[in-house]
C-alpha cells in the first residue's frame, strides 16, 4: 500500500486540508496559491506518511508547516514579483488595504524564518506570547526576545528608507 492510499493520509486530508487552505490563503492572499500549498503539503505527506506519526500535535504540525511553506513561497523571487502585481486580497479581519498587504509580504520576504513566523503569529493571527511559545516549543521569554529583534530590524529598515 502506498502513502497516497493510506487511510491515515485520507483522514488527515479531510480533517486538515480546509484549515491549511484558509491559512495559506490568509498569508498569501491568493486562493490559487493556497491550493498549491495544500497540494504540495499533502504530496510531501504521501511521500513520507510517517512524518505525521512523529509529531505530538497534528494541528500544530499543519499550522507551522503551512506557515513555513507560505513564507518560503513569498521569498521565492519570481512568485513574489507575480504576487505583488496581482490584485491582492487584503489579509486580516480589519480590512487592511492592498498597500498594507504588499508591505507585509515584502517585510516577511526579508526576515529570517523564526522572525517571519513570530510576525505572522503575533500580528497576523493576534496570538499571545504564551500561544506562540507553545506552538514553537520555546519559552514565552524567547518569543518576547524574537519580537524585540523583529522590532529592531523593522526600525533599522525604516531608518534606511
Nearest to 69 by CA among 18, 103, 35, 106: 35
Q: Give exposure, 143-157, as e/b (b: 16+ Cβ within 10 Å).
A: beebbeebeebeeee
The yes-or-no verdict on residue 7 having pLDDT over 60 is: no
The yes-or-no verdict on residue 139 having pLDDT over 50 is: yes
The yes-or-no verdict on residue 82 having pLDDT over 70 is: no
The yes-or-no verdict on residue 12 having pLDDT over 90 is: no
pLDDT of residue 159: 65
User: Model's pTM, two decimal places?
Assistant: 0.55
The yes-or-no verdict on residue 10 having pLDDT over 90 is: no
The pLDDT of 128-143, averaged and rounded, is: 88
pLDDT of residue 88: 43
Q: What are the boundaries of each domain within the chain? A: 1-95, 111-161
Cell 507585509 sits at which residue? Answer: 104
Cell 489579509 sits at which residue? Answer: 91
The yes-or-no verdict on residue 83 having pLDDT over 80 is: no
The yes-or-no verdict on residue 24 having pLDDT over 90 is: yes
Name the architecture of domain 111-161.
Orthogonal Bundle (1.10)
Better pLDDT: 6 or 13: 13
Amino acid at each position: 500500500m502506498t502513502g497516497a492510499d493510506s487511510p491515515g493520509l485520507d483522514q488527515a486530508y479531510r480533517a486538515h486540508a480546509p484549515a491549511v487552505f484558509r491559512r495559506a490563503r490568509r498569508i498569501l492572499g491568493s486562493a490559487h496559491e493556497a491550493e498549491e500549498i495544500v497540494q504540495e503539503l499533502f504530496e510531501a505527506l504521501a511521500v513520507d506518511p510517517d512524518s505525521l506519526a512523529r509529531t505530538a500535535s497534528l494541528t500544530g504540525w499543519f499550522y507551522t508547516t503551512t506557515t513555513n511553506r507560505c513564507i518560503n513561497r513569498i521569498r521565492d523571487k519570481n512568485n513574489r514579483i507575480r504576487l505583488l502585481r496581482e490584485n491582492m486580497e487584503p489579509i486580516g479581519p480589519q480590512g487592511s488595504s492592498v498597500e498594507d498587504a504588499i508591505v507585509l509580504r515584502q517585510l516577511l520576504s526579508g526576515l529570517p524564518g523564526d522572525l517571519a513566523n513570530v510576525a505572522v503569529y503575533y500580528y497576523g493571527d493576534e496570538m499571545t506570547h504564551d500561544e506562540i511559545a507553545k506552538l514553537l516549543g520555546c519559552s514565552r521569554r524567547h518569543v518576547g526576545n524574537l519580537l524585540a529583534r523583529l522590532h529592531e530590524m523593522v526600525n533599522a529598515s525604516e531608518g534606511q528608507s
